[in-house]
Amino acid sequence: MAPSVHNTQPWRFTAGGQQISLHADTERQLRVADPDGREMMISCGAALFTARLALRSLGYRPETSVLPDPGQALLVARVSWQGRAACTEFEQELFGQVRQRRTHRGGFDLVPLPPGLLAALRQGAARYRAMLRIVADDGRRAALAAAVEAAERAQRLDSQRVRELARWAPAPGSARADGVPPTSYPARAERTDPDFPGRDFAHGRGWGLPALSTAPPFRSAGVAALLTTVRDRPADWINAGQALQRILLTASTVGIAAALHTQPLEFGWLRESIRAQLSDGAYPQLVLRFGAVVQAVASVRRPADDVLSADGSDSAGASHE
Ligand SMILES: Cc1cc2nc3c(=O)[nH]c(=O)nc-3n(C[C@H](O)[C@H](O)[C@H](O)COP(=O)(O)O)c2cc1C
């Protein structure tokens, strides 16, 4: 149920006894846009947070080791549970959002975020040694939007990238349980000022949801932010993913949705320019926008049987390496 880049769901769980192992599935990695597997690992981090939260909702105390085996680079984490502790109200609220939360693609209503939310999101990120930096200054926000726009333009001119995106953009009515379905993005892009263009999932085929007739003509870009880490190793990507899912679920508990824009982080020169100019040298892992909006989108996921096997051994993961 976690978010993942292009809804690739690049994870496999194996369970045995009181332990779950989470492996990255490189068959689902974006070879062109994400050759280092950074976004794949962020996605796995989000799945790890979700699995731990699920255990908490059942009253278990998960013990997690991230990248436990240097010989198995694709073994993202092992989670075991021995002790029990009652689930807190906040954890329950977060867990309640796991199936509700959806990525937003477009503008937001012109209403402020609930007081205290950004502070809570920042604290949530800090638990995973990640930093949520709010890009509030108009000039910096415009610079970030310009980076998204530049990336989107470059992406649309690159046939390899276009083909890769098309592989994860199923047609309307598709029975696929992965990829970004037309039920999850608007048919007509909604412009905001500054404009953060979305990905071109429909690729000129007119797919997507019709505009809500009640949507007001003026929409806000929302509160823009960067999720960053001090270093840029696989462990940092996994932690950024954990922080991301905590942030998204926390926002969702108060009716706030997030739009994600990783386009500029998939081009080395743009990522480097954001790092130097907008994040004090820290490594940008995600570009986010937060805001209030009525959502009518639907996404898909693979059934549990496809991602979870009862075999507790890690050998399947090792064979990938
Ligand atoms: C690392 C990462 C990068 C993402 N980048 C984008 C993006 O650039 N544009 C976008 O619309 N969604 C992006 N997403 C959101 C995914 O497309 C989304 O999580 C997935 O389609 C599942 O849908 P859901 O979040 O509504 O459940 C990203 C998600 C992750 C985890």
Tell me how many degrees the CA angle 170-171-173 measures, rounded to the nearest 5: 110
How far, in Å, is the centroid of ligand 1 from the Cα of 261?
A: 8
Nearest residue to 253 via CA among 111, 124, 47, 92: 92
What is the pLDDT confidence band of residue 259, given thresholds at 50, 70 and 90? very high
Q: Is the CB of 7 under 6 A from ligand 1?
A: yes
pLDDT of residue 318: 38
Backbone angles phi, psi at 218, to 5 degrees: -100, 120
Whether 313 shows a pLDDT value over 60: the answer reads: no
What is the pLDDT confidence band of residue 211, given thresholds at 50, 70 and 90? confident
- Tell me the mean pLDDT in the region 111-122: 97
What is the pLDDT confidence band of residue 212, given thresholds at 50, 70 and 90? confident
Sheet containing strand 75-84, strands side by side = 60-66, 75-84, 19-24, 11-16, 308-309
pLDDT of residue 319: 35
- The helix or strand, by DSSP H or E, that contains position 126, with its residue range, turns out to be helix 117-126
How far, in Å, is the centroid of ligand 1 from the Cα of 186?
A: 14
**Which ligand 1 atom sits nearest the alpha carbon of residue 105?**
11
Nearest residue to 171 via CA among 124, 129, 208, 139: 208
What is the pLDDT confidence band of residue 316, given thresholds at 50, 70 and 90? very low
Q: Is the CB of 261 under 6 A from ligand 1?
A: yes
Q: Which residues of 96-126 are buried (b: 16+ CB within 10 A; e: fewer)?
A: ebbeebbbbbbbbeeeebeeebbebbbebbe
- Tell me what the pLDDT averaged over the chain comes to: 95
- Tell me the mean pLDDT in the region 169-182: 97
Q: Is the CB of 249 under 6 A from ligand 1?
A: no
Whether 317 shows a pLDDT value over 50: the answer reads: no
Q: Is the CB of 242 under 6 A from ligand 1?
A: no
Cα–Cα distance between 24 and 9 in angstroms, integer?
9
Whether 217 shows a pLDDT value over 90: the answer reads: no
How far, in Å, is the centroid of ligand 1 from the Cα of 73?
A: 24
- Whose tokens are 């978010």? That residue is 3
What is the pLDDT confidence band of residue 320, given thresholds at 50, 70 and 90? very low
Q: pLDDT, tens digit, for every residue of 49-73? A: 999 999 999 999 999 999 999 999 9
Whether 312 shows a pLDDT value over 60: the answer reads: no
Q: pLDDT, tens digit, for every residue of 1-26? A: 999 999 999 999 999 999 999 999 99
Q: Which residues of 40-52 are buried (b: 16+ CB within 10 A; e: fewer)?
A: bbbbbbbbbbbbb
Q: Please give the model's pTM, rounded to 2 decimal places.
A: 0.96
- Tell me the mean pLDDT in the region 108-113: 94
